[in-house]
Every structure is written in C-alpha cells, then in structure tokens.
Amino acid sequence: MKRLRNFFAGFVLLALLSFLVLWIWGKREFKRQNMFDAYITEAAQRYNLPENVIRSVIWRESDFDPAAHGKAEERGLMQVTPTAGEEWAASEKINNFQPTDLFDPRTGIMAGTWYLSRAQQRWLEGDNPLAFALAEYNAGRTHARRWAAGMDKPNAAAFLENIDYPSTKAYVLAVLKKLHRYETEPDPELWSFVFDKIETKWWQWSTGVKG
C-alpha cells in the first residue's frame, strides 16, 4: 500500500512539473511569436493586408524564425526567394539589395507582405482572393492561373479542388485555418501552442525548411 501511495505521489509530482515546464514554454512561445509585431503592423499598413494574414503566413513559412531557409533558397520569416526580394527592392527603389537582407526580420516581412499583397490584387474578382493569393505565394503565378483556368469568376472551393500539388493545397488550408484561429482566439490556450509547434515542425521537416 505504501509503495502504491509513493507511486501515486511521484506520478502527481511528475505531472505538475510537466505542466509547469509546458506553461513556462508556452509563455516564452507567445512572447517569441509577438517579437515582430511592430514590423507586421508597418507592413500591413503599407501594403494593405490584415496583420493576422501576415502572422499566419509567417507561422506557416518559418515558425517565426528569421534564420529559416528553404530548399529553393527561400529566406527569412516569410520565406521570400531572392528573385522576389529583388522585385520588392526595385518597386521600393531600394539600392544595393542583397538576398541575405531577407534574413533581417523587417526586410523579410516587408518583402513577403508586398509579394502577397500584389498576388491578392490579381484575384480581386474571386469570392475569396486570399485563397488564390496564398496558392500563388506558395506555388507561383503560373500554377495558380492553371488551377483557375476556365472559371468565369474565380471560385475558391473549385480552385482548391483543382490544386494538384498536395503541399500547396495543405499550405492554403493551413494558413486559412490559422487565420481563423488568430481572429477567434486572441488569447490562445497553452495546448494550442503545443499542437501548433508539432504541426509546424512536421511541415518544416516535410518541405525542407531549416532554421
């Protein structure tokens, strides 16, 4: 009986310690994910995109890691390619732009938001322009146009059905889902961070994004 009580007491202590560790980690994770709020606000105002859209893309692209880089040379918080970064720099008349600048949090956010905003402007006739823009952001304009081919008025549901890249379809759905959570859960529960971390690490492993 004494051994059973000791076992139960140890189990309770372990559970409490585990919860404490998770709680501390959750607090740090919340702080980490809000480190770039000033840059997000700046980019949102300049390029006319909601802040939570930008946060959702950063979450999926890099898990808020400015040092992240992908297999196709995507860089920074929003995984912008050097070519897209150069287009952004040219549009803003920024001289001496270097691809490594995309690892700078402000530069990466500004360039990625500009690119996504430009993509969304191309799909304003659709019933959900953001869905089309996210697909273009992830897979490129050529593929997005192919998936929308033959539509008199772009329809997001039909468009998503036409996406024949499973990773792109999963990307669009994940970002839209995260956006909904940002908008409906301003103060997320601890477990939300845990599940998000697991999902994000799986995504990064499957797509080759490295910190």
* Rounded-to-integer distance, Cα 140 and Cα 142, Å: 6
pLDDT of residue 199: 66
pLDDT of residue 123: 96
pLDDT of residue 196: 66
**With contact defined as beta carbons under 8 Å apart, do 110 and 42 qualify?**
yes
Sign of the alpha-carbon dihedral angle for 32, 33, 37, 40: positive
Q: What global pTM score does this model have?
A: 0.81
Using 50 as the pLDDT threshold, list the residues of the chain that sit under it.
Answer: none
pLDDT of residue 37: 95
pLDDT of residue 153: 87
